[in-house]
């Protein structure tokens, strides 16, 4: 198992849960636990609806997925967008899928222009496609209509405050800011920064606002130490300054040989008033044949410290099924009790096991 191949473990969305130490105040009974779970699921559904209804969210999605890109029409630009080794490594750690909800996609990477210096100026959408002006000389400005049939270019996307460094001969962004204005009103901002020691050790930070929401995502990776992979992630999502969703994770992989490695993951995920605490500690060989209850410790608390219950795996027809265990000892299938959360956890486990087995 080679060190670089283990970077695949850092795919976005893998590190959704985290463990932490708190003094428990009490154990909730079944009715109290069910009410807390119901409240969290309802809040997640409600917030998801509010997110996709904002102009900032809708326009960033439209710009990234439906509008033809203005930047790939020049042959000299194409030379700059060939992914470097650093860019490939970075893309393994970026987040584009939020809350594991297929209806919510943020395309932060679309706004981090690796080829900023090649496309400076103003790009205007016309019925015949994009036109380009060479001014301004220090920013990239893109103008287009929204919705698509609007008579004028009422959206302006401005990329500015760009800086970069060389990594293995490739130009790599270290700072860039973006703002989106819709009908002369700012509806979306993004600020990206990176601290890069070398291709094996770097960290990134992305801050996004689209009223009334704010997102912050920080990630770091270090594979500079022999036979070690270190990864950390901190993600917060707020509305009107109040936290309603967060992820905090740390991963350590110690490579023993080409066939195996020791893996330690500690993580915490907060949804509303619920806090999921996870610890995974095992050798990669155990992921294929071991009992998941010996590998995965996952418990559910309120953010105030009350214990809601634990998660356990039950073998049914030669398959492991995730159950939620109330403090009374009663067990129910997690996908029945909390369908949104259990789906997220299954996605997390599936990605983790598949990536480890491939390496």
- The tens digit of pLDDT for each residue in 85-140 reads 444 334 433 333 344 444 567 777 788 888 899 999 999 999 889 999 999 999 99
Alpha-helical regions (H) of the chain: 30-53, 55-65, 75-80, 85-91, 286-289, 334-337, 339-358
The tally of CA atoms less than 13 A away on the side-chain side of residue 279 is: 8
Mean pLDDT of 321-337: 93
By CB neighbour count within 10 A (0-12 exposed, 13-18 middle, 19+ buried), where does 152 fall?
exposed
Mean pLDDT, range 202-225, rounded to an integer: 93
pLDDT band at 171 (very low <50, low <70, confident <90, very high): confident
Closest alpha carbon to 114 in 138, 89, 137, 84: 84
- CA dist., res. 216 & res. 204, Å (int): 11
Two structure tokens written together for 237: 């999502």
Instruction: Give how far Cα 30 sits from Cα of 291, 298, 328, Å.
Output: 27, 18, 7
Q: What is the pLDDT of residue 19?
A: 38
Q: What is the CA radius of gyration of the chain?
A: 22
**C-beta separation of 204 from 193 below 8 A:** yes
Q: Is the pLDDT of residue 21 over 80?
A: no
Q: Are 347 and 100 in contact (CB under 8 A)?
A: yes
User: pTM of this prediction?
Assistant: 0.80
Asked which of 59-68, 176-185, 300-309 is least confident by mean pLDDT, the reply is 59-68
Q: Is 46 helix (H, G, I), strand (E, B) or coil?
A: helix
Residue 17 has pLDDT above 70, yes or no: no
Mean pLDDT of 67-96: 47
Per-residue CA distances from 79 to 57, 71, 314 (Å):
31, 12, 53
Q: How many CA atoms lie within 13 A of 251 on its CB side?
A: 26
| 183 or 99, higher pLDDT | 183
Say yes or no to pLDDT of 195 above 70. Answer: yes
Domain boundaries, the chain: 1-54+218-359, 55-210
CA torsion sign, 170 to 174 to 175 to 180?
A: positive
Q: Measuring CA to CA, how many Å separate 352 from each of 22, 24, 345, 349?
A: 26, 29, 11, 5
Q: What is the pLDDT of residue 23?
A: 53
Q: Kindly indicate the confidence band of residue 349, based on its pLDDT and cuts at 50, 70 and 90.
A: low
Mean pLDDT along residues 328-357: 69
Residues 342-349 have a mean pLDDT of 58
Provide mean pLDDT across the span 60-64.
91
What pLDDT score does 90 carry? 40
Average pLDDT rounded to a whole number, residues 222-226: 90
Q: Are 314 and 332 in contact (CB under 8 A)?
A: no
- State the Cα–Cα distance between residues 125 and 55, nearest whole angstrom: 20
| Lowest-pLDDT range of 77-91, 92-106, 286-300 | 77-91
Nearest to 40 by CA among 339, 350, 309, 299: 339
């Amino acid at each position: 198992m080679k060190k670089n191949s283990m970077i695949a473990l850092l795919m976005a969305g893998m590190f959704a849960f985290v463990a932490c130490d708190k003094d428990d105040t009490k154990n909730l009974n079944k009715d109290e636990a069910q009410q807390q779970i119901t409240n969290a699921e309802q809040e997640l559904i409600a917030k998801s609806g509010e997110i996709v209804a904002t102009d900032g969210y809708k326009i960033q999605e439209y710009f990234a997925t439906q509008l033809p890109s203005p930047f790939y029409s020049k042959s000299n630009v194409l030379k700059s967008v060939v992914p470097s080794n650093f860019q490939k490594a970075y893309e393994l750690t970026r987040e584009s899928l939020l809350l594991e909800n297929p209806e919510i996609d943020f395309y932060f990477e679309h706004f981090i222009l690796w080829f900023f210096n090649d496309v400076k100026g103003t790009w205007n959408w016309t019925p015949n496609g994009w036109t380009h002006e060479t001014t301004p000389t220090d920013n990239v400005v893109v103008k287009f209509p929204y919705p698509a049939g609007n008579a004028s270019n009422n959206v302006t996307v401005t990329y500015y405050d760009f800086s970069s460094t060389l990594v293995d001969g490739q130009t790599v962004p270290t700072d860039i800011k973006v703002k989106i204005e819709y009908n002369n009103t700012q509806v979306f901002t993004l600020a990206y920064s990176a601290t890069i020691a070398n291709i094996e050790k770097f960290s990134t930070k992305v801050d996004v606002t689209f009223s009334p929401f704010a997102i912050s995502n920080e990630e770091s990776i270090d594979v500079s130490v022999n036979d070690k992979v270190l990864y950390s992630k901190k993600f917060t999502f707020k509305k009107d300054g109040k936290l309603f969703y967060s992820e905090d994770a740390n991963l350590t992989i110690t490579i023993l040989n080409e066939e195996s490695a020791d893996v330690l993951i500690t993580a915490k995920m907060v949804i509303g008033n619920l806090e999921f605490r996870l610890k995974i500690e095992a050798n990669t060989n155990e992921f294929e044949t071991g009992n998941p209850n010996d590998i995965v410790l996952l418990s559910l608390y309120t953010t105030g410290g009350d214990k809601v219950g634990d998660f356990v795996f039950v073998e049914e027809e030669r398959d492991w099924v995730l159950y939620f265990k109330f403090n009374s000892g009663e067990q129910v299938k997690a996908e029945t009790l909390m369908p949104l959360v259990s789906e997220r956890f299954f996605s997390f486990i599936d990605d983790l096991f598949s990536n480890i087995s491939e390496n």
